[in-house]
């Protein structure tokens, strides 16, 4: 079984009417890291925890995960 994992941070920010800069300040991580989040396939563990905590979410909520049975 394979998984397709797609980040969805930018859509979460849009839903919550938050800017990348606001999240950066709240999470204590660089705005550039927030900007690159949805484009990257690798994420720093400390950034994942900081972003999830700042948004009061679980880490898995930052991603759309689909199981491929093939």
Q: Residue 6 gets which letter from DSSP? A: E
Residue 1: band (very low, low, confident or very high) from pLDDT cuts 50, 70, 90: confident
Structural domain span for residue 51 = 2-68
Report yes or no: 33 and 44 within 8 Å, Cβ to Cβ.
yes
pTM: 0.86
Q: What is the bridge-based pairing of β-strands 63-68 and 2-7? A: antiparallel
Domain count, the chain: 1
Condensed to tens digits (0 to 9), the pLDDT of residues 3-50 reads 888 999 999 999 999 999 999 999 999 999 999 999 887 889 999 999
62: its two tokens:
């930052």
Domain of residue 33, CATH code: 1.10.260.40
């Amino acid at each position: 079984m394979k998984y397709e994992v797609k980040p969805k941070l930018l859509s979460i920010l849009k839903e919550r009417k938050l800017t990348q800069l606001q999240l950066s300040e709240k999470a204590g991580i660089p705005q550039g890291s927030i900007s690159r989040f949805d484009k990257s396939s690798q994420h720093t563990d400390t950034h994942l925890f900081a972003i999830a905590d700042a948004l009061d979410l679980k880490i898995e909520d930052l991603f759309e995960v689909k199981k491929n049975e093939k």
